[in-house]
Amino acid sequence: MKSLPRGTPIYQRVRNSSLTRPPPGSPDQAVNPLPPGRRPDHNPGLPLAGPRAGPGTACHRAITLRRCVSYSLYARLARYGFRKHATYVAAALAGAFTNSVFGVLRAYILIALWQARPGLAGYDVTAAVTFCFVTQAFIGPMQLLSGGLTLPERIRTGDIALDLVRPAPLQLWLLAEDLGRAAYQLLVRGLPPMLAGAAVFGITAPRDPARWLGVLACVTAGVVVSFAWRYLVCLSVCWLADDRGVMVCSMLLTTLLSGMMVPLTLFPGALGEVVRALPWAAMAQAPADVYLGIASAGPALAFQAAWGAALLALGALATRAVRHRVVIQGG
């Protein structure tokens, strides 16, 4: 066999050795007692054996990876989020009952307020009560009173290192799961308060199908804005020892500035203008105004899309910083 100079790459040595293999029947060839079908070099299942090796394998892997990181992946993640939360039916029904009871209590308070001040903030009594139950229905899907993400615990335990090597961006991965969760929460925890409000107080509902489509689009956009904000809050664990203080501050801001307690039009003057321009207003106030017909879906969706894109961009930058921090600390 022809010798190759020292320093020749391994793949070149293998190629030359296969080209200079002795012909069959020559005394230099060793006799293999196994039949061809059972020899190791005839194993068709070996992924890098014989003609299967080469650039075709890398191309196949790239195509497979691109197929994994596709829209079907995010659809499966959304379905997974829906089915995961559908497992806890009793907890969801208990949450729906709690939302309905607190909705009734809030409604009586608002009725007393609007009877004392008729036409306050441009709402009548029926619109104020309807606003109350609509925002109660948003508590579960938009997680207005909690974080709803397990990311802080995964950061503390170090499992975030596994999340960062998944075949999709961490933020989009969690967003798809959260959309599936929100769909389930809207059906199980959102509809019962609305039905309770209709049965007890006779709240109004849109009659135009186009407005229903606008409400559905605004609710979806509100869930995206809510997720983007909660994602940023959860990532703060990488720089803080405990996330409970940040979570409490986030809950207070969301409760007061999202329109969940009272309509944001109650805030006077310049303060009201500032509050209605903040991202929390895109979570509950904007979809509720579209539901009541106070605002059209187009401007509300534009407002929500602007804040959603801005918060998601900040989340992407924060994820990059988290990835760098994990690499620096060695996982």
pLDDT in tens, 47-69: 343 344 444 444 544 445 455 55
Tell whether 54 is covered by a domain.
no
Reference 148, options 244, 245, 226, 260; nearest CA is 226
Reading the block at residue 15, the tokens are 């190629």
Choose between 252 and 56: higher pLDDT: 252
Confidence of residue 3 (pLDDT cuts 50, 70, 90): low
Residue 77, CB half-sphere, CA atoms under 13 Å: how many?
21
Confidence of residue 143 (pLDDT cuts 50, 70, 90): very high
How many independent structural domains does the chain possess? 1
- 285-303 burial, b at 16+ Cβ within 10 Å, e below that, comes to bbbbbbbbebbebeebbeb
Tell whether 13 is covered by a domain.
no
Question: From CA 30, how far away is CA 36, in angstroms rounded?
Answer: 14
Tell whether 154 is covered by a domain.
yes
Confidence of residue 187 (pLDDT cuts 50, 70, 90): very high
pLDDT at 149: 84
Tell whether 255 is covered by a domain.
yes
Place of tokens 């499966």: 76
Tell whether 21 is covered by a domain.
no
pTM of the complete model beyond 0.85: no
List pLDDT tens digits, range 198-249: 999 999 999 999 999 999 999 999 999 999 999 999 988 888 877 788 889 9
Tell whether 39 is covered by a domain.
no
Confidence of residue 103 (pLDDT cuts 50, 70, 90): very high
Least confident of 94-98, 213-217, 320-324: 320-324
Q: What is the mean pLDDT of residues 79-98?
A: 91
DSSP assignments along 38-64, one per residue: GSGGG-TT-TTSGGG-SHHHHHHHHHH
pLDDT at 107 > cutoff 60: yes
Tell whether 6 is covered by a domain.
no
Confidence of residue 159 (pLDDT cuts 50, 70, 90): confident
Give the range of the structural domain holding residue 278, as residue numbers without chain letter. 64-328
Q: What is the mean pLDDT of residues 276-281?
A: 96
- Structural contact between residues 89 and 192, judged by C-beta atoms closer than 8 angstroms: no
Tell whether 199 is covered by a domain.
yes
Helix extents (H) in 87-207 = 89-116, 125-142, 151-157, 160-163, 170-185, 191-200
Question: From CA 181, how far away is CA 190, in angstroms rounded?
Answer: 12
